Protein backbone atom coordinates (compact mmCIF):
# COMPACT_ATOMS: atom_id res chain seq x y z
CA UNK A 1 0.00 0.00 0.00
CA UNK A 2 1.34 3.41 -0.94
CA UNK A 3 1.37 6.16 1.66
CA UNK A 4 1.13 9.86 0.87
CA UNK A 5 1.77 12.47 3.56
CA UNK A 6 0.77 16.04 2.76
CA UNK A 7 2.27 18.90 4.76
CA UNK A 8 -0.05 21.90 4.67
CA UNK A 9 -1.31 24.86 6.67
CA UNK A 10 -4.88 24.26 5.46
CA UNK A 11 -5.81 20.61 6.10
CA UNK A 12 -9.55 21.20 5.70
CA UNK A 13 -9.08 21.97 2.01
CA UNK A 14 -8.60 18.26 1.31
CA UNK A 15 -11.76 16.92 2.96
CA UNK A 16 -14.11 16.93 -0.03
CA UNK A 17 -11.57 15.86 -2.63
CA UNK A 18 -10.36 12.75 -0.85
CA UNK A 19 -13.78 11.53 0.28
CA UNK A 20 -15.29 11.07 -3.18
CA UNK A 21 -14.98 8.84 -6.23
CA UNK A 22 -11.83 6.87 -7.08
CA UNK A 23 -9.63 8.24 -4.30
CA UNK A 24 -12.25 7.38 -1.68
CA UNK A 25 -12.49 3.81 -2.99
CA UNK A 26 -8.72 3.47 -3.14
CA UNK A 27 -8.51 4.45 0.54
CA UNK A 28 -11.33 2.10 1.52
CA UNK A 29 -9.70 -0.77 -0.41
CA UNK A 30 -6.36 -0.07 1.28
CA UNK A 31 -4.57 0.70 -1.97
CA UNK A 32 -3.43 4.04 -0.61
CA UNK A 33 -3.10 5.74 2.77
CA UNK A 34 -3.31 9.53 2.80
CA UNK A 35 -2.41 11.55 5.87
CA UNK A 36 -2.85 15.31 6.09
CA UNK A 37 -0.41 17.03 8.45
CA UNK A 38 -0.74 20.61 9.63
CA UNK A 39 2.91 21.56 9.89
CA UNK A 40 2.03 24.54 12.04
CA UNK A 41 1.86 22.01 14.89
CA UNK A 42 5.62 21.55 14.56
CA UNK A 43 6.37 25.25 15.07
CA UNK A 44 8.45 26.03 18.13
CA UNK A 45 7.23 29.62 18.15
CA UNK A 46 4.97 30.23 21.19
CA UNK A 47 2.27 31.60 18.87
CA UNK A 48 2.62 28.86 16.26
CA UNK A 49 4.23 31.22 13.76
CA UNK A 50 5.53 29.57 10.58
CA UNK A 51 6.56 32.57 8.46
CA UNK A 52 8.63 35.73 8.62
CA UNK A 53 9.69 38.72 6.54
CA UNK A 54 12.31 38.11 3.82
CA UNK A 55 15.93 39.13 4.21
CA UNK A 56 16.69 41.97 1.83
CA UNK A 57 13.15 43.28 1.99
CA UNK A 58 10.20 42.69 -0.29
CA UNK A 59 6.48 42.09 -0.12
CA UNK A 60 4.80 39.22 1.66
CA UNK A 61 5.88 36.62 4.19
CA UNK A 62 8.17 33.64 3.70
CA UNK A 63 7.73 30.17 5.23
CA UNK A 64 10.51 29.45 7.72
CA UNK A 65 12.69 26.35 7.84
CA UNK A 66 12.11 24.98 11.34
CA UNK A 67 8.47 23.75 11.19
CA UNK A 68 8.89 22.10 7.80
CA UNK A 69 12.27 20.54 8.56
CA UNK A 70 10.94 19.12 11.84
CA UNK A 71 7.72 17.82 10.22
CA UNK A 72 9.64 16.02 7.47
CA UNK A 73 12.13 14.62 9.98
CA UNK A 74 9.30 13.23 12.11
CA UNK A 75 7.69 11.22 9.30
CA UNK A 76 10.45 10.45 6.82
CA UNK A 77 11.73 6.87 6.45
CA UNK A 78 14.24 5.21 4.12
CA UNK A 79 11.36 4.63 1.68
CA UNK A 80 10.23 8.26 1.57
CA UNK A 81 10.54 10.65 -1.35
CA UNK A 82 9.92 14.35 -0.69
CA UNK A 83 8.11 16.53 -3.23
CA UNK A 84 8.22 20.31 -3.00
CA UNK A 85 5.45 22.04 -4.94
CA UNK A 86 6.73 25.28 -6.44
CA UNK A 87 6.11 27.38 -9.59
CA UNK A 88 9.84 27.11 -10.32
CA UNK A 89 9.78 23.31 -10.27
CA UNK A 90 9.92 20.85 -13.16
CA UNK A 91 6.69 20.82 -15.20
CA UNK A 92 4.59 17.82 -14.17
CA UNK A 93 3.94 15.23 -16.88
CA UNK A 94 2.12 11.90 -17.10
CA UNK A 95 5.44 10.04 -17.11
CA UNK A 96 6.18 11.65 -13.72
CA UNK A 97 2.88 10.33 -12.39
CA UNK A 98 3.89 6.80 -13.48
CA UNK A 99 7.29 7.20 -11.81
CA UNK A 100 5.83 8.45 -8.54
CA UNK A 101 3.13 5.77 -8.48
CA UNK A 102 5.88 3.20 -7.95
CA UNK A 103 7.13 4.78 -4.72
CA UNK A 104 6.20 3.48 -1.27
CA UNK A 105 5.91 6.80 0.57
CA UNK A 106 5.56 10.32 -0.81
CA UNK A 107 5.83 13.43 1.34
CA UNK A 108 4.30 16.46 -0.40
CA UNK A 109 5.13 19.94 0.91
CA UNK A 110 2.56 22.63 0.14
CA UNK A 111 4.04 26.10 0.05
CA UNK A 112 2.07 29.23 0.81
CA UNK A 113 2.35 33.00 1.25
CA UNK A 114 5.12 34.65 -0.78
CA UNK A 115 7.21 31.50 -0.91
CA UNK A 116 9.52 29.52 1.34
CA UNK A 117 13.04 29.81 2.66
CA UNK A 118 15.31 28.51 -0.12
CA UNK A 119 17.00 26.11 2.31
CA UNK A 120 13.79 24.07 2.36
CA UNK A 121 14.65 22.91 -1.17
CA UNK A 122 17.45 20.81 0.35
CA UNK A 123 14.75 18.46 1.67
CA UNK A 124 13.27 17.75 -1.75
CA UNK A 125 13.89 14.79 -4.01
CA UNK A 126 11.58 16.41 -6.55
CA UNK A 127 10.55 20.02 -7.15
CA UNK A 128 7.35 20.05 -9.20
CA UNK A 129 5.16 22.66 -10.90
CA UNK A 130 1.74 21.85 -12.37
CA UNK A 131 1.81 24.81 -14.75
CA UNK A 132 3.17 28.20 -15.65
CA UNK A 133 0.97 30.22 -13.34
CA UNK A 134 0.91 31.13 -9.65
CA UNK A 135 -1.62 29.82 -7.12
CA UNK A 136 -2.17 30.95 -3.55
CA UNK A 137 -0.68 27.73 -2.20
CA UNK A 138 0.37 24.18 -2.92
CA UNK A 139 -2.86 22.53 -1.79
CA UNK A 140 -4.56 22.35 -5.19
CA UNK A 141 -1.37 21.11 -6.90
CA UNK A 142 -1.11 18.45 -4.18
CA UNK A 143 -4.64 17.30 -5.02
CA UNK A 144 -3.65 17.10 -8.69
CA UNK A 145 -0.64 14.92 -7.87
CA UNK A 146 -2.59 12.61 -5.58
CA UNK A 147 -5.38 12.14 -8.12
CA UNK A 148 -3.03 11.47 -11.04
CA UNK A 149 -0.88 9.06 -9.00
CA UNK A 150 -3.68 7.17 -7.25
CA UNK A 151 -5.38 6.07 -10.46
CA UNK A 152 -2.12 4.44 -11.61
CA UNK A 153 -1.72 2.25 -8.53
CA UNK A 154 -2.44 -1.38 -9.44
CA UNK A 155 -6.00 -2.39 -8.57
CA UNK A 156 -7.39 1.15 -8.28
CA UNK A 157 -8.87 1.30 -11.79
CA UNK A 158 -8.86 -1.05 -14.77
CA UNK A 159 -5.30 -1.04 -16.14
CA UNK A 160 -6.49 -0.68 -19.73
CA UNK A 161 -8.18 2.59 -18.79
CA UNK A 162 -4.95 4.39 -17.99
CA UNK A 163 -2.99 2.64 -20.75
CA UNK A 164 -5.36 4.34 -23.21
CA UNK A 165 -5.30 7.72 -21.48
CA UNK A 166 -4.31 10.98 -23.07
CA UNK A 167 -0.55 11.62 -22.91
CA UNK A 168 0.19 7.95 -23.34
CA UNK A 169 3.53 7.33 -25.00
CA UNK A 170 3.73 6.58 -28.72
CA UNK A 171 6.80 4.37 -28.46
CA UNK A 172 7.35 4.16 -32.21
CA UNK A 173 7.69 7.91 -32.61
CA UNK A 174 9.00 8.92 -29.19
CA UNK A 175 6.11 11.35 -28.60
CA UNK A 176 3.06 11.63 -26.36
CA UNK A 177 -0.42 11.54 -27.83
CA UNK A 178 -3.75 12.97 -26.75
CA UNK A 179 -6.65 10.55 -26.44
CA UNK A 180 -8.70 9.67 -29.51
CA UNK A 181 -12.34 10.89 -29.77
CA UNK A 182 -14.94 8.55 -28.27
CA UNK A 183 -18.68 8.17 -28.86
CA UNK A 184 -21.69 6.41 -27.32
CA UNK A 185 -25.39 5.93 -28.13
CA UNK A 186 -27.36 7.22 -29.99
CA UNK A 187 -25.53 6.76 -33.26
CA UNK A 188 -26.97 9.99 -34.65
CA UNK A 189 -27.58 13.08 -32.51
CA UNK A 190 -28.60 16.51 -33.86
CA UNK A 191 -27.41 15.42 -37.28
CA UNK A 192 -23.98 14.36 -36.00
CA UNK A 193 -23.19 10.72 -36.72
CA UNK A 194 -20.73 8.31 -35.13
CA UNK A 195 -17.96 7.40 -37.64
CA UNK A 196 -18.80 4.25 -39.58
CA UNK A 197 -15.51 2.56 -38.73
CA UNK A 198 -16.46 2.39 -35.04
CA UNK A 199 -19.62 0.39 -35.63
CA UNK A 200 -18.46 -2.14 -38.23
CA UNK A 201 -16.88 -4.53 -35.73
CA UNK A 202 -13.45 -4.63 -37.39
CA UNK A 203 -11.17 -4.18 -34.39
CA UNK A 204 -8.00 -3.84 -36.43
CA UNK A 205 -9.50 -0.95 -38.42
CA UNK A 206 -10.88 0.59 -35.20
CA UNK A 207 -7.43 0.50 -33.60
CA UNK A 208 -5.83 2.11 -36.66
CA UNK A 209 -8.57 4.77 -36.84
CA UNK A 210 -8.10 5.66 -33.17
CA UNK A 211 -4.32 5.83 -33.54
CA UNK A 212 -4.57 8.15 -36.53
CA UNK A 213 -7.16 10.32 -34.77
CA UNK A 214 -4.85 10.61 -31.75
CA UNK A 215 -2.05 11.82 -34.01
CA UNK A 216 -4.38 14.25 -35.80
CA UNK A 217 -5.75 15.68 -32.54
CA UNK A 218 -2.30 16.03 -31.00
CA UNK A 219 -0.98 17.87 -34.07
CA UNK A 220 -3.94 20.26 -34.01
CA UNK A 221 -4.23 20.91 -30.26
CA UNK A 222 -0.79 20.18 -28.78
CA UNK A 223 1.80 20.22 -31.57
CA UNK A 224 4.50 20.74 -28.94
CA UNK A 225 3.99 17.13 -27.84
CA UNK A 226 4.92 15.92 -31.32
CA UNK A 227 8.38 17.46 -31.04
Active-site annotation, residues: 87, 114, 151, 165
Between the two ends of the chain, the Cα-to-Cα distance in Å is 37
Task: Name the phi and psi angles at 210, rounded to 5.
Answer: -65, -40
Hey, which residues does 3 pair with through a beta bridge? 33, 105
Distances from the Cα of 73 to the Cα of 21, 69, 117, angstroms? 32, 6, 17
Give 179's DSSP letter.
P
Q: What is the four-CA torsion angle of 110, 116, 122, 127, rounded to 10 degrees?
A: 50
Amino acid sequence: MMKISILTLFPNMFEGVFTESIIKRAIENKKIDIEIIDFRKYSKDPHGKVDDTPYGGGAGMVLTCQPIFDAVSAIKTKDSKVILLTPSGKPYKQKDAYLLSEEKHLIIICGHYEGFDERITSLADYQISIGDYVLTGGEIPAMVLVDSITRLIPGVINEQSHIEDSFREDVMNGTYLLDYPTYTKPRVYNGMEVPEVLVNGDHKKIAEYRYQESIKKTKEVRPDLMK
